Amino acid sequence: MTRLNLAILISGRGSNMEALLQAAENPDFPAKPVLVLSNRPDAKGLETAAAAGIPARAIDHTLYGKDREAFERALDAALTEAGTEIIALAGFMRVLTPWFVTRWAGRMINIHPSLLPKYKGLHTHQRAIEAGDAEAGCTVHWVSPGVDEGEIIAQAAVPILPGDTPDTLAARILPEEHRLYPQALARACHKIRETSPHA
Ligand code: GRF
């Protein structure tokens, strides 16, 4: 089986990226990492990726000022040059324009730390606690033009416990993210294979 060329977009710590890289060490995993890109040159995940032998580079969004599309054209050029066939957003903190999302439609997935459709956007853990929810979790979904709105691929839930803070809840969800994301990425690869078998 040929594996889909995977690019991972990050902005910081990169623990989800690391989970994907580890899963992809198995030669039977349906994606092969070809590139890690960060919009922040100081992202810790860039060092982790480079240490794992994956080409890793930054495209600093601040150099493009308010011109989001110019930044995204630079991203797109790097992705295309690497032969990217599927993109996994992993803690990538830039909202993408409809131009970029449309260009990679059906080939880009994201992990979000809430049980979507609840709590799109930021501060998900705090909002779940404040709402008095019994559980919280994470979602992997296809990326569509509306932020955190694309079709859901997989979810995992954890309980919210008395006394939870956003930090304790995030720490309970994070291992679930690391478990869920590789599984969901594999599912996404199979879907791409089904719909474009020669890709
Ligand atoms: C994760 O909680 C992810 O769900 C969210 O941002 C965080 C990134 O963490 N989108 P990491 O960089 O993968 O460690």
SS3 36: strand
Q: What is the DSSP letter of 117?
A: T
pLDDT of residue 133: 98
- Helix runs in the chain, H state only: 15-23, 44-51, 68-81, 98-103, 124-130, 166-195
User: Which amino acid is it at 61?
Assistant: H
Alpha carbons 61 and 55: distance in angstroms, whole number: 19
To the nearest whole percent, how much of the chain has pLDDT over 70?
A: 98
Q: Whose CA is nearest to atom 2 of ligand 1?
A: 113
Residues enclosing ligand 1, CB less than 6 A?
Answer: 10, 12-17, 90-91, 111-113, 138, 177
Alpha carbons 75 and 174: distance in angstroms, whole number: 27
Provide the whole-model pTM: 0.97
- Is 61 annotated as catalytic? no
4-57, pLDDT tens digit by residue?
999 999 999 999 999 999 999 999 999 999 999 999 999 999 999 999 999 999
**φ, ψ dihedrals at 71, nearest 5°:** -60, -45
pLDDT of residue 199: 53
pLDDT of residue 198: 57
Nearest to 57 by CA among 72, 73, 79: 79
**Quick one: which atom of ligand 1 is closest to the CA of 15?**
14
Contacts of 71 (CB under 8 A, 6+ apart): 39, 59, 61, 63, 64, 94
Q: Which of 8, 16, 44 to mutate to test the pocket of ligand 1 (most atoms within 8 A of CB)?
A: 16
